[in-house]
A and B are shown apart, each in its own frame.
Chain A
Amino acid sequence: MSKQETIVRCRGLTIGYGREVVLRGVDLDVPRGAFLPFVGPNGAGKTTLLRAILGLLRPLDGTIETPFDHAPPGYVPQQKAVDPLYPLSAEQIALMGLYPRLGWWRKPSAADRKLLDTIFDQLALTPHRRKTYGELSGGTKQKALIARAFLSGAEVFIMDEPTSELDEPSEIEVLHHLARLSREEGKTVLLACHALDHVAALAEHACLVNHGRLRLAPVNDLRPVGSPIGNRQSEIRSEEGGT
């Protein structure tokens, strides 16, 4: 990847739960402004790695350097992370993203409200803004979490399968918006996804997470030769097996 300011640096990283090691020996430098997908099959460790980078999971070994203590990232967890029992509207969920600026007490400014309106329009969330999180469909829940990340105005976005429940047009739109943020505004985007299908055209590099290892490579190197539509999980697995 290009030599720019590094925003996430992992050295000799081993992560897992208890005694179970999920990934080992991870060395990774993510430069500012990168659009970096993490691909691999279920259970490969994509989510575990992102949680470690976010500071939610203590590494078993190695180090992770991030600027998140001072500037929290925009985080999109898997949609089940929010307890649907809480009667919080889609709008209130999105406004959580402003907490680092507003703290306990301050109210969102007019500019914040305007930005919220714009993001909700972009994501076609406006008709659902007053619905509680529990009332939203899977895709709309994901959009509310994406809106929260966008509203935060963070420099880094970390997203765990942010489009898994979206319909195809919405998925393409969200991914292109993320790529645009990376390209035009220098935002850094790390996202876990099952397949390269929709991100292959947007990213230069991707991280393949499989068999307890991480491999950073140009996207084209991860695509099977002679397969214009390739990049499905099974194909990634077989390609990895062949290396």
Chain B
Amino acid sequence: MFHDIADLFAMFPEAVIAGAVIATVCACLGVFVILKRVVFIGITLAQVAAAGVAAAMVLGLSPFLGAAALTLATVTVLAAPFETQRIPRDAVLGAIFVLAAGGSILIVAKSGFGLTEVKSVLYGDLILTQRGDLAVILATLLPALLALVLFWRPIVYTFADREAARVLGIRVFVWELAYFYILGIVVSAASKVGGALLVFAYLVVPPSAALLVTRRLVVAAILSASIALLCTLVGLYLAFRFDQPTNHVIAVATFASLLLAAIARLVASIPRRRARTRR
């Protein structure tokens, strides 16, 4: 396997590096997607970014700019206090998701692209990562990760106890918006090669696996990134070895990690349950 991964790295260095960076950063950010109970934002932003990539490619613009323009516009709309309006935030998210999913299909349907190009635009393909894609990913995701590390404390306090954070002098609206802009930028940069499915998988599945097996927030973020990274390498290897679509294999691998985490948690709880029964 290691020999094959070495071959893979030699043949597709951009894909391996891009996959590793996207996995690490999305999985770290995803811990808050889970804890803040905004999983639907993850899939909506990923789908909006895919629509932005499709529109930009049809118009001959930078895919990243197309994705970033739409995701940041979406984040700005979602920043409105919908809880105080007549419909919940999820309803607005659902409407945006429907528009993005339908719109991206309509855009590529009229594009004159071939089937491979259409699939690449709609679903992304890590293995096709170009040097230019990698440059965008590195220039965007690494500063985003640095920002998350640097602003960890106010973001955590804002999300965990909003009122107390306000009393402590934390500008909760600013930090919440900052987190969602970071998320939007990361999803935009990752979407051209990651596609909506893989980006969403990274945002949701490894963080869930990590939170199942640890009770420490920092450990959960590190573990989530590690799980996503491992799934990426295993997925790349399996896709390469068995000639399967890369992004889908990685997405399925992340689900396997969640299953393993659930089993590990179950096994770890057996002694505790036995002790309780004996008492």
B231 beta carbon closer than 8 Å to chain A? no
Verify B170–A87 contact, CB threshold 8 A: no
B154 beta carbon closer than 8 Å to chain A? yes
B87 beta carbon closer than 8 Å to chain A? no
Q: Chain A's nearest CB lies how many Å from the CB of B83?
A: 13
Verify B153–A86 contact, CB threshold 8 A: no
Verify A105–B150 contact, CB threshold 8 A: yes
B7 beta carbon closer than 8 Å to chain A? no
Verify B211–A81 contact, CB threshold 8 A: no
B160 contact set on A, CB distance < 8 A: 82-83, 86, 88
Compute the total of residue contacts between A and B using a CB distance below 8 Å: 79
A89 contact set on B, CB distance < 8 A: 215-216
B166 beta carbon closer than 8 Å to chain A? yes
Do A56 and B166 form a contact, CB below 8 Å, given A81-B161, A83-B161, A87-B220? yes
Do A72 and B35 form a contact, CB below 8 Å, given A81-B163, A88-B156, A88-B217? no
Verify B150–A87 contact, CB threshold 8 A: no
B73 beta carbon closer than 8 Å to chain A? no
Task: Name the residue of chain B whose CB is nearest to the CB of A86.
Answer: B160
B113 contact set on A, CB distance < 8 A: none
B214 beta carbon closer than 8 Å to chain A? yes
A104 contact set on B, CB distance < 8 A: 150-154
Chain B interface, DSSP helix/strand/loop, else mixed:
helix
Do A56 and B163 form a contact, CB below 8 Å, given A87-B211, A99-B153, A100-B169? yes
**Chain B residues numbered 121-151 whose CB sits less than 8 Å from any CB in chain A:** 150-151
**Chain A residues numbered 48-70 whose CB sits less than 8 Å from any CB in chain B:** 51, 54-56, 68-69
Which residue in A72, A77, A86 is a CB contact (below 8 Å) of B159?
A86
Verify A87–B215 contact, CB threshold 8 A: yes
- Chain B positions 152 through 176: 1 when the CB is less than 8 Å from some CB of chain A, otherwise 0: 1110110111011111111000000
* Bound CA span A54–B168, Å: 10
Do A75 and B164 form a contact, CB below 8 Å, given A88-B156, A96-B157, A104-B153? yes
A148 beta carbon closer than 8 Å to chain B? yes
A82 contact set on B, CB distance < 8 A: 160-161, 164
A68 contact set on B, CB distance < 8 A: 167
* B154, B160, B163 interface centre (most CB from chain A within 10 Å): B160
* Bound CA span A99–B164, Å: 11
* Bound CA span A99–B168, Å: 7
* Bound CA span A75–B161, Å: 12
B217 contact set on A, CB distance < 8 A: 86-88, 92
Do A73 and B161 form a contact, CB below 8 Å, given A87-B215, A132-B215? no
Verify B166–A55 contact, CB threshold 8 A: yes
* Bound CA span A96–B167, Å: 11
Q: Chain B's nearest CB lies how many Å from the CB of A70?
A: 9
Q: Chain A's nearest CB lies how many Å from the CB of B39?
A: 13
Q: Chain A's nearest CB lies how many Å from the CB of B41?
A: 16
Q: Chain B's nearest CB lies how many Å from the CB of A91?
A: 11
* Bound CA span A88–B157, Å: 10
- Chain B positions 218 through 242: 1 when the CB is less than 8 Å from some CB of chain A, otherwise 0: 0010000000000000000000000
Verify B167–A73 contact, CB threshold 8 A: yes
B214 contact set on A, CB distance < 8 A: 87
* B164, B169, B220 interface centre (most CB from chain A within 10 Å): B164
Task: Name the residue of chain A whose CB is nearest to the CB of B162.
Answer: A81
Verify B216–A100 contact, CB threshold 8 A: no
B161 contact set on A, CB distance < 8 A: 77, 81-83, 93, 96
Do A85 and B164 form a contact, CB below 8 Å, given A99-B170, A100-B169, A104-B154? no
A132 contact set on B, CB distance < 8 A: 215
A83 contact set on B, CB distance < 8 A: 35, 159-161
9 of the cross-chain contacts (CB-CB < 8 Å) are A56-B167, A72-B169, A73-B167, A75-B164, A77-B163, A83-B161, A88-B156, A88-B160, A99-B153
